[in-house]
């Protein structure tokens, strides 16, 4: 009854701030503005800003080739957006998966890249237990449903890895070598797979995940993160 009334009146509580929002489980306009959502074409190498006339940003042109064909993010990992991601990740607010899933789907609708399957970066099972959910898998499955693309959790972590945030870049890459594997019964041959994760920092987690998928036969890997540091 309450939901019916809300629908009739067009008021739903915003999952970010609790103020009325015009769509169920979606952030209100004010929250979206505060998150500073990205739009349009950005650097396909890292999802950052294009700083010249070339197809990739100067940082990507300087750095080694990335294993993915396209990278995109939804908003900067700072201010209000960062607060919401941290609440989602560490604060026990799995209900933020829906609005984040919708935002990711919205961003992907702006991009015409092949999309056969979606997956997410796995957590080691002990971390998944202690947090009681894998935030990336939650929003990724909602995003996939919104876009009518199949979602499958195709990878698992072979071992626990120390928190990436505490490590310098070189150590991050080493820390993750061989940390992911594809379940033996999964067939990825010829598929264009999108990997979804919460935050893009140096890209080393996604780098390892993308290489794992390519080794397992994926035709191409593309990555989306909610936020970008
Ligand atoms: Zn709001
Ligand atoms: Zn770039």
Q: What is the CATH number of the domain that holds 93?
A: 3.40.50.2020
Q: Are residues 211 and 111 in the same domain?
A: yes
Q: Are residues 19 and 112 in the same domain?
A: no
Q: What is the pLDDT, as a whole number, of residue 1?
A: 54
Q: What is the pLDDT, as a whole number, of residue 3?
A: 62
Phi, psi of 180 (to 5 degrees): -115, 155
Ligand 2 centroid to Cα of residue 22, in Å, is 35
Q: Are residues 97 and 161 in the same domain?
A: yes
Question: Which ligand is in closest contact with the Cα of 61?
Answer: 2
The candidate with the shortest Cα–Cα distance to 140, out of 88, 86, 80, 77, is 88
Ligand 2 centroid to Cα of residue 109, in Å, is 20
Residues of the chain with pLDDT under 70: 1-10, 125, 128-129, 132, 164-166
Number of domains in the chain: 2
Q: Are residues 123 and 151 in the same domain?
A: yes
Question: Which ligand is in closest contact with the Cα of 62?
Answer: 2
Q: Are residues 207 and 116 in the same domain?
A: yes
Q: Which domain holds residue 29?
A: 1-35
The candidate with the shortest Cα–Cα distance to 164, out of 119, 127, 213, is 127
The candidate with the shortest Cα–Cα distance to 199, out of 126, 129, 120, 108, is 120
Q: What is the pLDDT, as a whole number, of residue 196?
A: 97
Ligand 1 centroid to Cα of residue 109, in Å, is 22
Q: Are residues 120 and 215 in the same domain?
A: yes
What pLDDT, in 10s, does the model give residues 97-115?
999 999 999 999 999 899 9
Ligand 1 centroid to Cα of residue 222, in Å, is 30
Ligand 2 centroid to Cα of residue 61, in Å, is 7
Q: What do you get for the CA distance between the two ends of the chain, in Å? A: 42
Q: Are residues 164 and 216 in the same domain?
A: yes
Cβ atoms 133, 143 nearer than 8 A: no
Ligand 1 centroid to Cα of residue 28, in Å, is 4
d(CA 229, CA 225): 10
d(CA 99, CA 24): 9
Number of neighbouring beta carbons within 10 Å of residue 226:
30
Helices vs. strands in the chain: H and E counts, helices first: 9, 8
Q: Are residues 24 and 73 in the same domain?
A: no
Do strands 117-120 and 192-200 pair parallel, antiparallel, or not at all (unpaired)?
parallel
Q: What is the pLDDT, as a whole number, of residue 41?
A: 87
Burial class for 127, CB neighbours closer than 10 Å (0-12, 13-18, 19+): middle
Ligand 2 centroid to Cα of residue 106, in Å, is 21
Phi, psi of 39 (to 5 degrees): -145, 170
Q: Are residues 65 and 132 in the same domain?
A: yes
Question: Which ligand is in closest contact with the Cα of 46?
Answer: 2
Ligand 2 centroid to Cα of residue 190, in Å, is 26
Q: Are residues 96 and 176 in the same domain?
A: yes
Cβ atoms 15, 99 nearer than 8 A: yes
Q: Are residues 25 and 111 in the same domain?
A: no
Do strands 12-13 and 20-21 pair parallel, antiparallel, or not at all (unpaired)?
antiparallel
Do strands 70-76 and 180-182 pair parallel, antiparallel, or not at all (unpaired)?
unpaired
Question: Which ligand is in closest contact with the Cα of 203?
Answer: 2
d(CA 26, CA 54): 35
Ligand 1 centroid to Cα of residue 32, in Å, is 7
CA distances from 189 to 121, 214, 217, 219 (A): 19, 9, 5, 7
What pLDDT, in 10s, does the model give residues 149-193?
999 999 999 988 777 666 777 777 777 888 999 999 999 999 999
Q: Are residues 101 and 15 in the same domain?
A: no
Q: What is the pLDDT, as a whole number, of residue 40?
A: 85
Ligand 1 centroid to Cα of residue 18, in Å, is 6
Claim: this prediction has a pTM higher than 0.85? yes
Burial class for 107, CB neighbours closer than 10 Å (0-12, 13-18, 19+): buried
């Amino acid at each position: 009854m309450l939901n019916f009334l809300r629908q009739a009146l067009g008021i739903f509580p915003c999952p970010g701030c609790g103020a009325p929002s015009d769509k169920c489980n979606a952030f209100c306009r004010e929250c979206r503005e505060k998150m500073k959502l990205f739009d349009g074409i950005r650097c396909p190498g890292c999802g950052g800003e294009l700083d010249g006339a070339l197809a990739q940003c100067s940082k990507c042109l300087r750095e080694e080739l990335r294993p993915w064909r396209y990278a995109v993010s939804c908003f900067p990992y700072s201010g209000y957006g960062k607060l919401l991601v941290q609440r989602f990740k560490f604060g026990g607010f799995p209900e933020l998966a829906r609005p984040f899933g919708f935002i990711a789907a919205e961003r992907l609708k702006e991009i015409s890249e092949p999309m056969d399957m979606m997956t997410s970066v796995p957590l080691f099972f002990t971390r998944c237990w202690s947090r009681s959910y894998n935030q990336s898998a939650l929003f990724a499955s909602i995003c996939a449903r919104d876009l009518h693309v199949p979602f499958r959790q195709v990878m698992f972590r072979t071992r626990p890895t120390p928190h990436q945030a505490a490590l310098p870049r070189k150590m991050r890459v080493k820390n993750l070598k061989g940390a992911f594997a594809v379940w033996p019964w999964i067939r990825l041959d010829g598929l264009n797979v999108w990997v979804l994760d919460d935050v893009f920092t140096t890209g080393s987690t996604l780098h390892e995940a993308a290489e794992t998928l390519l080794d397992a036969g994926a035709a191409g890997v593309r990555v989306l993160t909610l936020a970008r540091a």
